[in-house]
Amino acid sequence: MTRPQYVGPWRIDLTVRGGVANPTSNASLARAIARAATAAGAPSPGSIGLILSDDAELAALNDTYMAKRGPTDVLSFPLLPPEAYPPHPGRSAHSEAISTPFVLPPGLRPHLGDVVISVERAIEQAEAGRGGQTGDVRWTSASELRLLVTHGTLHLCGWDHAEPVEEAAMRSLEAELLASG
């Protein structure tokens, strides 16, 4: 079942798959998404989908969309190109300029895309002390899940970490956002 959460100009459509237990509140995750989207300069008001799932679904998505075998912790499916967002040091060096911006009729909220997270993987990483995207942070499952939500939202907004400069900028913003909320 999908439940909309409203935080400022953002609507977060939160779906929790059957059998998945959320280790934190929906409101906490919605606030993390709103902070990341705002910091990234996302067009607002806007909507973002968040799907809390398990390793099996993430493994299937990872195989289909990333050509990688096995589960991952978070995947993002942006609907707008990175250039739809303000320039930032975390932008992929492979970005190309868009020629025509995407425009909606007045009064409609653009959907920025969807973030899918394996709660199973988040819990495992936190419990094993392999969290924090660097693989060496020991913290709660709720903190790991908030990081993954923040990370996935930044990816929706054109942030990347393929190059060292991009990664440093993205990790710095993630730390700042997590510290503020």
Report the topology of domain 2-89+112-180.
Collagenase (Catalytic Domain) (3.40.390)
Q: Residue 103: pLDDT above 70? A: no
Give me the mean pLDDT over the 22-45 stretch.
95
* Amino acid residing at 55: D
Q: How do 74-78 and 111-118 pair as beta strands?
A: antiparallel
Tell me the C-alpha distance between 148 and 20, whole Å: 16
pLDDT attached to residue 100: 46
Domain ranges of the chain: 2-89+112-180
- What 3-state class would DSSP assign to 1? coil
Count how many Cα atoms sit within 13 Å of the Cα of residue 74 in the half-sphere of its side chain: 25
Q: Which residues lie closer than 8 Å to 143 by C-beta, 6 or more apart?
A: 126, 131, 178
pLDDT attached to residue 102: 58
128 vs 120 pLDDT, higher one:
120
Tell me the C-alpha distance between 158 and 36, whole Å: 12
Q: What is the DSSP code (8-state) at residue 159?
A: B
Contact 178, 134 (CB under 8 A): no
Give me the mean pLDDT over the 104-126 stretch.
89
